[in-house]
């Protein structure tokens, strides 16, 4: 048992002390998102929590959306995996894994989050607000995962599945058709395994800035040679950027890497 009551995918899952009251003004604001994304939360406290960044939680003495993000990441992975299993019938596991890695990447999640207007509903601390947090890809991607986790708890797995498949449908088709930004981390891993029989090794070589606006500097080692560094607002972003540098060096004829696409 987790908490006082737990049923997988149920509408009565107990979230413990995570939930805080929502003011009438904020509830009216969130109802606008209901109409925008085509879903309706039974408990607006869950929806509100999904948008509560750690910077706001620290200032308000409340709980952040990190636990919902953790849950939503797993729910999203399951739903997308099942959708690709059906959509790509007969294709090998490697193809499904490659498509999934792009569909659930930070880049894709941030793009979808912006499209459905999540940035307007985020609760940010003053420092994060001043530093342009509403436009940060990592923050938007995390909030979308938290939203999915919240909707799963609020309305169950079937409803969450319908929502995810609807809002991710265009991205899934785009990735399958090759109309997407390259996932250089996956490309580099495949190249490294095929050519050198080893995996790339990513290293954080510098971390700077306040907790709410950190910049990570990373390099990557492939077959004993170091490439980079590259900076990012998250480790995932820095890894993608340094992987692109390495892949471009190892495959100099790749037009996407040299031209800046991806």
Asked if 192 and 159 sit in the same domain, the reply is no
> Is there a single domain that holds both residue 188 and residue 133?
no
Cβ burial 29-55 (10 Å sphere, 16+ → b, else e)? ebeebeeebebebebbbbbbbbbbbbb
Point out the domain boundary residue: 176, 195, 230. Answer: 176
**pLDDT averaged over every residue in the chain:** 86
Catalytic residue numbers read 73, 145
Structurally, how many domains does the chain consist of?
A: 2
Write down which residue in 127, 145, 176 finishes a domain: 176
**What pLDDT does residue 35 have?**
87
CATH classification of the domain holding 36: 1.10.1520.10
* Per-residue DSSP letter, 52: B
Q: Is residue 3 part of a domain?
A: no
Give the separation between CA 222 and CA 243, rounded to whole angstroms: 10
Same domain, 49 and 129: yes
Structural domain contains residue 6: no
Domain that holds residue 170: 24-176
Read off the pLDDT of residues 18-75 as tens digits, 9 standing for 90 and up.
788 889 999 999 988 888 899 999 999 999 999 999 999 999 999 999 999 999 999 9
Task: Let me know whether 46 and 160 are in one domain.
Answer: yes
Q: Which long-range contacts (CB under 8 A, 24 or more apart) does 180-183 make?
A: 180/102, 180/108, 181/102, 181/107, 181/261, 181/262, 182/244, 182/256, 182/257, 182/261, 182/262, 183/98, 183/101, 183/102, 183/105, 183/240, 183/262
Domain assignment present for residue 57? The answer is yes
């Amino acid at each position: 048992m987790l908490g006082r009551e737990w049923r997988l995918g149920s509408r009565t899952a107990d979230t413990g002390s995570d939930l805080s009251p929502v003011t009438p003004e904020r509830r009216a604001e969130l109802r606008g998102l209901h109409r925008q994304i085509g879903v309706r939360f039974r408990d607006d406290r869950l929806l509100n929590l999904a948008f509560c960044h750690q910077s706001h939680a620290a200032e308000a003495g409340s709980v952040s959306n990190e636990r919902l993000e953790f849950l939503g990441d797993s729910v999203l992975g399951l739903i997308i995996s099942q959708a690709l299993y059906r959509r790509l019938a007969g294709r090998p596991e490697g193809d499904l894994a490659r498509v999934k890695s792009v569909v659930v990447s930070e880049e894709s999640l941030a793009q979808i989050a912006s499209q459905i207007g999540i940035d307007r509903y985020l609760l940010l601390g003053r420092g994060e607000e001043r530093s342009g947090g509403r436009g940060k890809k990592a923050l938007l991607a995390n909030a979308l995962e938290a939203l999915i986790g919240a909707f799963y708890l609020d309305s169950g797995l079937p409803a969450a599945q319908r929502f995810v498949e609807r809002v991710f449908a265009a991205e899934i088709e785009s990735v399958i058709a090759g109309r997407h930004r390259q996932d250089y981390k996956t490309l580099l891993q495949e190249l490294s395994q095929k050519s050198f029989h080893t995996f790339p090794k990513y290293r954080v070589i510098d971390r700077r800035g306040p907790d709410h606006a950190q910049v990570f500097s990373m390099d990557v080692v492939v077959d004993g040679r170091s490439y980079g560094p590259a900076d990012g607002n998250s480790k995932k972003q820095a890894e993608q950027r340094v992987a692109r540098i390495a892949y471009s060096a190892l495959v100099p004829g790749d037009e996407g890497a040299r031209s800046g696409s991806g």
